[in-house]
Amino acid sequence: MKRNNPKLPMMMMMALSFCLFIVTAFSSCSNRQDYTNAIPSDATSVFSVNLQIMAQKAGLQEAGNRAALNKLTEALKTGLSAELQQQVEKLMENPADLGIDYTAPVYFFQASQTGLAAKMSDRNKLESFLKATQKDELFMGLQQADSYTYTYNEQLFLAFNETTLLALSTPSSMDIGQMNNDVRLLLAQTEENSIKQQRFFNELQTRQGDINMALSAESLYKYYPQAKMFSLPENASLKDLKMIYSLNFTNGKIEAKGNLYTEDERLKALLEEQALATPHPIEGKYLAYFPESTLMLMAINVDGEKLYQLTMAEESIRHQITPEQSALLHTLLGAFHNDVTVGLTGMSANGVPSFVAYAETDDENILQSFDEHWKAQSSAKPMERLGNGDYRLRMNSVSLFMGIRGTDLFLTNDQFQYDHIARKAEPSVLEADFANELKGQHIAFIANAEALFDLPLIRMAIGFLSPEHQIYIKMAQNISYINIGADSEYGKLSLALKDKDTNALKQLTDFIKTFIGI
């Protein structure tokens, strides 16, 4: 059997996919979405991408982007046969000629193989395009099976019928018979034995993101075991815990929102118990004490006693600390109630950060308890009791100041912050653009990108970068702030841009055009 020429097949497909993303802004149609029946029921990860909506948000209907598309088309045609060049030009003018309906989401999935499922609009048009690729040996010749047409190369096995395009990654030692058997079974699936019988997939389809994703916690922890923060109930499985997220591009912001989903009652109970450690929205009691230029801010509403119980419920932690350390941890965590707020307020010329932290406590003796424990450490330098009742702990060249004002515990390594402890800053973070991000959140972390890039140390470091790296810095300097947080229902990650009036995807597209010179 004649083998396809391995030259540039994947590059060709990647470039063509990018072109298709651009031109879907100019096409539309609608059919039943039964093509999702081809997604295997045991898929551990599923992504849906709304290409037409994203193309519209990217502003690809603008004349300037048409010109960029023409340049990209000319580059794509280089080295192709005349027949395929003609097909590419035709496709760029009318994406419907590919025969795929890009108004319906395209689904990527991970099961025993990585795959893609898309809705067909015209089977004959896709056949015409694939036939045109044969002279360039990008795919093998089209072949007919019982109910579908297929072709393949060293990376992909493509199969399609009247409703569905299915693309599967090929193993290093491909067995065409086995591939056809897999495809035949997937294309024959009904709603009852496809991914649709998984409730998490139905939940995924309700999300309104430009990109929606459902990931198995098991697949995440397989590659990032350090991300696992808790032990499972007996006989429970991470396969039954899904992370469902939606990504949206809006004016001036990229937002991802998601939650953990499970039908296992034991896992539900565990998640509900963990949520009790951060039971209420952040009150914002200490925000007025932090300057608007604060570099990073973390705020959390916490039940310290519950946090201690959850911490000690972890067997791996219990075995690593002594009873004395456990008692101290209980004293410290158990004393915290409601808001805890920590801010990175500055950075010295040699890179030493300044921070200040506040926490509400109902234990007026918490510092004395810590002092007694510290003294018990024979190698530790003793804490110094100051005249006003506060404490100072010297560690090398750094002094840590700590004390209590009413019910507010504070800790800082900055003399200026200590001299102005519990005083309102003018202006404060309450006037910052990211202040609204904190409303309703139970936990929040803010990185003030504008303030970070304005640091003299950072500006000096950027000056030493090569022009190639400064291009990426220029893109990053369009960021205003980054927020990571969670409320009672969803986790959230948002990236806010300085330009608040233009869709974030259009801003990203314009940067890419400039970067690649089209």
Compute the distance between CA of residue 386 and CA of residue 419 in angstroms, rounded to an integer.
13
**Token pair of 134 as six digits:** 């044969």
* Cβ-contact 70, 225 below 8 angstroms: no
Q: Please report which confidence band the pLDDT of residue 1 belongs to, taking 50, 70 and 90 as the band edges.
A: very low
In tens, the pLDDT along 80-106 reads: 888 888 877 777 777 778 898 988 999
- The pTM score is 0.84
Q: How far apart are CA 117 and CA 345, in angstroms?
A: 49
The pLDDT-based confidence of 28 (bands split at 50, 70, 90) is very low
Instruction: Report the distance separating Cα 95 and Cα 88, nearest Å.
Output: 10
Q: Give the C-alpha distances (Å, rounded to integers) separating 374 from 46, 308, 397, 417.
A: 51, 20, 19, 24
pLDDT at 405 over 50: yes
Nearest to 195 by CA among 45, 48, 40: 40
Range of weakest confidence among 217-221, 327-331, 399-403, 414-418: 217-221
What is the distance between the alpha carbons of residues 355 and 31, in angstroms, rounded to a whole number? 57
Query: Domains of the chain: which residue ranges?
Result: 9-197, 210-269, 287-511
Confidence of residue 139 (pLDDT cuts 50, 70, 90): confident
Burial class (CB in 10 A: 0-12, 13-18, 19+), 259: middle
Provide mean pLDDT across the span 477-498: 95
- Residue 296 near residue 446, CB atoms below 8 Å: yes
Q: Where are the beta strands (DSSP E) in 28-77?
A: 45-49
C-alpha to C-alpha distance for 507 and 252, rounded to whole angstroms: 8
Among candidates 147, 167, 48, 65, which has minimal Cα distance to 103?
A: 48
Q: Which residues contact 19 (CB under 8 A, 6 or more apart)?
A: 69, 72, 73, 76, 88, 91, 92
- What pLDDT digit, counting tens, does each position of 431-467 carry? 999 999 999 999 999 999 999 999 998 988 888 888 8
The pLDDT, as a whole number, for residue 148 is 95
